[in-house]
Amino acid sequence: MIKTIIIDDETHCSDRVLSLIERHPKTFNVLAVIDNVDEALRLVPQLQPELVFLDIKIHDKTGFDFLQEIGSINFKIIFTTAFDNFAIKAFKFSALDYLLKPIDTDDFDAAVSRLKDNLSKQNMEQQLQNLFENLKPNQKKVITIPSLTGFETLKVVDIIHLEADTSYTHIFTKDGKTMVSKPIKFYEDLLAENAFFKTHKSHLINIDHVKKYYKGKQSYVLMSNDAKVPISVRRKDEFLKHFI
Amino acid sequence: MLDSLENVINTYTKEDTTYVNLRIKFTARKMFLTPADTTWAAYVNKTLDISKQLNYPKGIAISYNNLGIIHHYFLSDPLGGLDYYQKSYAIFDKYPKFNTYVIAILTNIGLIHLEQQEYEKALKSFKSLLKYPENNKKYMTQFYIANTYGDQKKLDSSIYYYKKALVGSEQNKQLLYVANIKTNLGLVQTNAGFIEEGLVSINESLDLIEQHNIESLRVPAYTNAAEIYLINNNIEKAEYFATSSLELNESLNNLNTEKSALATLANIYTQKKDYKNALLTYQKHIVLRDSLINADRKLEIARKEIQFEADKDRAISQVEIERQKSIKNASIIGGSGLILASIISFVLYRRKQDAVSKSKEAEFNAKVSDTELKALRSQMNPHFIFNSLNSIGDYILKNDTQSASDYLGKFAKLMRLTLENSEKKEILLSEDISLLRTYMDIERKRFNYKFDYVIEIEADLDADNILVPPMILQPFIENSIIHGLSRKEELGLVKISFKAEKNMLICSVDDNGVGRKNSISNKNNPESKSMGMAITKSRIEIINKLKNTNGNVEITDKTEGTRIDVSLPMQLAY
């Protein structure tokens, strides 16, 4: 049984989470449902939950306020939010779990199974630290990469290129490469606003790391780590637009 | 003779005023013979530079004038031309001996303003021309003034100046002008309510054209005659002149007259209650009209186009008839734009202008289509939303809160995805399929799992590399479910498949439902299900127009159920 706390200022939202929890008998042990940050700050250290469903807007405070004030965090978090593009981007960058309200049953079930897989893995300090980095406006983004041993943090500007390998993706930086078990499409969407360009079905490059461009029947680019990345015929014109 | 002049210039070694005058002479003689020669601008610019070094006002002013002509007529850049004319005018104006030049320049400036629909400025230029005693073609100036007033719908002033111009041109035995003035006068008189005078004028003009074979006037005269007869309710003659004008214009390709003739013809069709042709003709007119005017008004027309496109397939309801009426009024105004502004018949200029217009037209068409695509897709979303809201309402009525809540979650997810994708023209087939799955999961729930679905993708198709317009199959699936399967007693099945055939992607929806013939909603209300279908068809039409392909929708009524095949151009992402 996972010791669980729900923090949400709207009853119908916490009720919804409760009804979804009921579908997973013997999985959750709900210790408390809390509707304000102050009480949460008082109760959470006392009750020592393993999991917190955390709303983002809680009266005039936010779930982030709660996390920053609580100090040490030794529980898992699943954020729940209605629609906040900015925060969602930050969650994705930091590889944190979140559910969009109104919560879809399948999405909830998927989150539960991810939770079961990861519960024992190291604490969330690093991911949350990355989250706060990413939430700062105009900050250089950092990306959290789940790896076999835990999590790794990469600066987006240091990523040179990515290559798809079936449902895995290799991420190349000047220090070498990392493999993650996410499809390249995930990173394509995530990095779309950050000077990344899909040159080929299985290649995503950081435009800022392009060293040279070779034209020809099969054109390609030379990246700052001297890797050659092909550019598909259909993407060539679009690619060249970035350099005009 | 020309060659010898060229020789003199080539062998001339000193850059003095004589040299400048020789170059000017050479330009004047040869420039109009080879307007397509793009080196003229450079040549004239050099003359200008030498003149400037010599501080030779005549050379500078004539060069500016020539550059004005090059920009105005050869390069179809009237505003660039205007700058040069004005520079030239500023110099010439100081020397009365150059008044003949001033007259030519002011005329050109006036014409540019007229073309740009800057009527006040045009009138100012033209009217100042009447003050010059050197202006021995005052009837020409009066004619331009009359045209300007006509374009401004100041019909009385227009008639006044036409009559003045008529007197002058008759005195000078300028037949061409007489005919031209009468062509325009007839239209203005008719529009001003002088119906009989209008008929007399246009018929006199038509007679002159016949007697003296004035071919250059035939098309505009026919165009005006069509409009005049239309206003006289003589539909037969109106149609005769409108179609003759369009036929003759085919070889001339003057977009301006074509535009007016199309407007008149659209009105004729409206009068004949032939709304389909009226609409088609009016659309052609709109495209032409737009290619002839500036960018600001383009959007307005694009909006109109979309409106029409959206209404095209609807029956001609009262609303449509009202709109047709408003089209008629709008194009009587639009169509009466006077055509014969420049009798100096700048054929060269027009040709160039037409080429430019055509490319603009193509550009515009693409833009219209683009907008339409967005507009049409935006219609899909409300369609979705209300169906789903209905279902949720249903659960609430039945007190099934759990289902209502579950359904709401799914619906919200689908809305998010739909909104995200609605901004995109194309998405990956794999994404589209997952969108369709979400949609069908919702519908399955709504219909109490009365049907199953399968999605088949041909083995060698790479769903991660094929682009499709988002949710193109959705309306068909919706039809299958709602009209075919929901009424079936046993468990139904929707089979969705994707395969390649030649350079096309064939997307099919195949159900084992009750079929179109047995669908109750179909019997009661044949229009009810065509909305989504019509939108999809229009989307495919637009894709065809944009990509120059021949995608289409085919409906097959099987013995049991219905099959839809949508063929789209095969589009690869990478």
Nearest to A201 among B402, B412, B464 (CB): B464
- pLDDT on residue B136: 81
Instruction: Report chain B residues whose CB lies below 8 A from the CB of A106.
Output: 410
Mean pLDDT computed over every residue of chain B: 78
Report the pLDDT value the prediction gives residue A6, as an integer from 0 to 100.
96
Residue B429 pLDDT class (50, 70, 90 cuts): very high
**How far is the C-alpha of B216 from the C-alpha of B206, rounded, in Å?**
12
pLDDT of B422 strictly over 80: no
Specify the pLDDT at position B309. Answer: 43
**Which among A213-222, B320-329, B365-374, B529-538 has the top mean pLDDT?**
A213-222
**Is pLDDT at B183 greater than 50 in this prediction?**
yes
Q: Which residues of A touch B406 (CB under 8 A)?
A: 105
The residues, any chain, with a CB within 8 Å of residue B349's CB and separated by 6 or more, are B72, B73, B74, B76
Tell me how close the Cα of B385 comes to any Cα of chain A, in angstroms.
15
Q: Is residue B106 within 8 Å of B122, Cβ to Cβ?
A: no
Of the candidates B492, B467, B474, B447, the one whose C-alpha atom is nearest the C-alpha of residue B533 is: B474
Q: Where are the alpha helices (H) located in B456-529, listed in sequence order?
A: 474-479, 515-518, 520-524
Higher-pLDDT residue of B305, B163: B163
Q: Is residue B355's pLDDT more than 70?
A: no
Where residue B253 falls among pLDDT bands split at 50, 70, 90?
Answer: low
A-chain CB neighbours of B465 within 8 Å are: 201
- pLDDT-derived band at B311 (thresholds 50, 70, 90) equals very low
ipTM over 0.85: no
Q: Which of A105, A200, A232 is closest, CB to CB, to B409? A: A105
Higher pLDDT, A120 or A192: A192
The single-letter DSSP state of residue B139 is H
- 3-state SS, residue A156: helix
Rounded distance between C-alpha atoms, residue B144 and residue B151, angstroms: 11
pLDDT of residue B319: 46
Nearest CA in chain A to B462: A201
| Residues ≥6 apart with Cβ < 8 Å to B401 | B395
Contacts A16 to B, Cβ<8 Å: 405
User: Given pLDDT bands bounded at 50, 70 and 90, which one contains residue B303?
Assistant: very low
- Contact call for A105 and B402, based on CB within 8 A: no
**pLDDT level of residue B94 (50, 70, 90 thresholds):** confident
pLDDT at B328 > cutoff 60: no
More confident residue, B502 or A121: B502
Region A62-87 average pLDDT: 87
Interface contact A100-B402, CB threshold 8 A: no
Q: A53 near A24, Cβ under 8 Å?
A: no
Find the DSSP H helices in B469-556: 474-479, 515-518, 520-524, 530-547
- What pLDDT does B505 receive? 95
Chain B residues within 8 A of A101 when measuring between CB atoms: 412
What's the half-sphere exposure (Cβ side, CA atoms, 13 Å) at A17?
A: 31
Q: Report pLDDT digits (tens) over B189-218.
A: 998 889 889 999 999 999 998 888 887 788
- Whether the per-residue pLDDT at B354 is higher than 60: the answer is no
Q: Which of A191-200, A221-230, B376-385 has the lowest mean pLDDT?
A: B376-385
**Could you give the percent of chain B with pLDDT greater than 70?**
78
Q: Which residues pair with A9 in a beta bridge?
A: none
Summarised one tens digit per residue, pLDDT across range B4-58 is 777 777 777 778 888 888 888 888 888 777 777 778 888 898 999 999 888 888 8
Chain B residues close to A107, C-beta within 8 Å? 409, 413
pLDDT, position B327: 47
Query: For residue A4, is pLDDT > 90?
Result: yes
pLDDT above 90 covers a percentage of chain B that reads: 17
- Cβ-Cβ pairs closer than 8 A, A with B, add up to 34
pLDDT on residue B38: 77
Burial class, A194, CB count within 10 angstroms (exposed 0-12 / middle 13-18 / buried 19+): middle
What CA–CA distance (Å, rounded) separates B422 from B58? 63
Q: How far apart are CA A111 and CA A97, in angstroms?
A: 7
Contacts of A100 in chain B (CB under 8 A): 412-413, 416
Report chain B residues whose CB lies below 8 A from the CB of A104.
409-410, 412-413
DSSP-based three-state secondary structure for A64: helix
Structure-model confidence comparison of residues B341 and B549, the more confident one: B549
Nearest CA in chain B to A167: B464
Task: Kindly give the residue spans of alpha helices, DSSP state H, lying in B12-77.
Answer: 17-30, 40-54, 57-69
How far apart, in whole angstroms, are the C-alpha atoms of residue B225 and residue A4?
Answer: 86
Q: What is the dihedral of CA B15, B17, B23, B27, to 10 degrees?
A: 150
Q: Is the peptide bond before A102 cis (omega within 30 degrees of 0)?
A: yes
Q: Does A219 reach chain B within 8 Å, measured CB to CB? A: no
Mean per-residue pLDDT, B467-486: 86
In angstroms, the CA A219 to CA A214 distance is 5
With CB atoms and an 8 Å threshold, state whether A200 touches B413: no
Which of A22, A88, A98, A104 is the best residue to mutate to test the B interface, defined by the most B CB atoms within 10 Å of its own CB? A104
Q: Are B558 and B480 in contact (CB under 8 A)?
A: no
Length of chain B, in residues: 574
pLDDT score of A33 more than 80: yes
Closest Cα in chain B, distance from residue A69 (Å): 32
Q: Is A82 helix (H, G, I), strand (E, B) or coil?
A: coil
Q: pLDDT tens-digit profile of B95-120? A: 888 887 888 888 888 888 887 778 88
| Residue partners of B434: CB distance under 8 A and separation at least 6 | none
Mutual angle of helices B347-397 and B275-292, in 10-degree steps:
120
Tell me whether residues B410 and A235 touch, CB distance under 8 A: no
Nearest to A173 by CA among A128, A133, A227, A130: A227
Query: Least CB-CB distance to B410: which of A16, A19, A104?
Result: A104
> How is residue A235 annotated by DSSP?
G
Does residue A42 have a pLDDT over 90?
A: yes
Q: Please state the φ and ψ torsions of residue B564, each to the nearest 5 degrees.
A: -120, 130
Residues of A in contact with B573 (CB under 8 A): 201, 234
Could you tell me if A161 lies within 8 Å of chain B, comparing CB atoms?
Answer: no
CB contact under 8 A, A104 and B573: no
User: What pLDDT does residue B383 have?
Assistant: 61
Q: What is the pLDDT of residue B273?
A: 80
Contact A234 B413 (CB under 8 A): no
Pairwise CB contact (< 8 Å): B406 & A105 = yes
Residue B425 has pLDDT above 90, yes or no: no
**pLDDT classification of A221: cutoffs 50, 70, 90:** very high
Quote the mean pLDDT of chain A. Answer: 88
Q: What is the pLDDT of residue B381?
A: 56
A210 confidence band (pLDDT: 50, 70, 90): very high
In B162-240, DSSP assigns E strands to none
Note whether A100 contacts B412, CB cutoff 8 Å: yes
State mean pLDDT over B493-505.
94
Q: Which of the residue ranges A11-20, B106-115, B386-395 has the most confident prediction, judged by mean pLDDT?
A: A11-20
pLDDT at B533: 72
Predicted local distance difference test score (pLDDT) of residue A237? 85
- In the DSSP assignment, the letter for residue A77 is E
pLDDT level of residue A162 (50, 70, 90 thresholds): very high
What amino acid occupies position B396? I
Mean pLDDT of B118-132: 87
Considering only CB atoms, B573 lies closest to which of A19, A106, A234, namely A234
**Under an 8 A CB cutoff, do B409 and A107 touch?**
yes
